[in-house]
Amino acid sequence: MAIDLYATEAPLARYTSEPGMRRVGEMTLELPPGWAAKVANRYEYSVEIELCFGSTEITLLARDVQSRNVVAAKVAWTADPVFLPAA
């Protein structure tokens, strides 16, 4: 499962289609074995996503709604600055 990460300098931005929004990364989470057997259509598989923002990293939690199993991934900030284009 791929989850795109977006950034913007707009303090009130809510949607990825807004001006100034830029895709800056992708997090890939591997679903548990046998997940496809639980649903007839892959779009019916429910996963809750939670992003936790800290001072030096972003933690992404993905929770299987049916089994309540949780998978976590962390993204650490790099020393290289990310420059966003001016809006």
Q: Concatenate the DSSP letters of all residues of 12-33 into one string.
A: T---TTSTT-EEEEEEE-PPPT
**Domain segments of the chain as ranges:** 2-76
Per-residue confidence (pLDDT) for residue 83, from 0 to 100: 58
Q: How far, in Å, CA of 32 to CA of 28, rounded?
A: 13
* Encoded tokens for 21: 């929004």
Per-residue confidence (pLDDT) for residue 18, from 0 to 100: 94
Per-residue confidence (pLDDT) for residue 86, from 0 to 100: 52
In order along the chain (87 residues), what is the average pLDDT of each group of 10 residues?
83 92 80 76 81 77 80 68 55
Per-residue confidence (pLDDT) for residue 44, from 0 to 100: 77
Is the pTM above the cut of 0.75? Answer: no
Whole-angstrom CA distances from 28 to 5, 14, 43 are 11, 22, 17
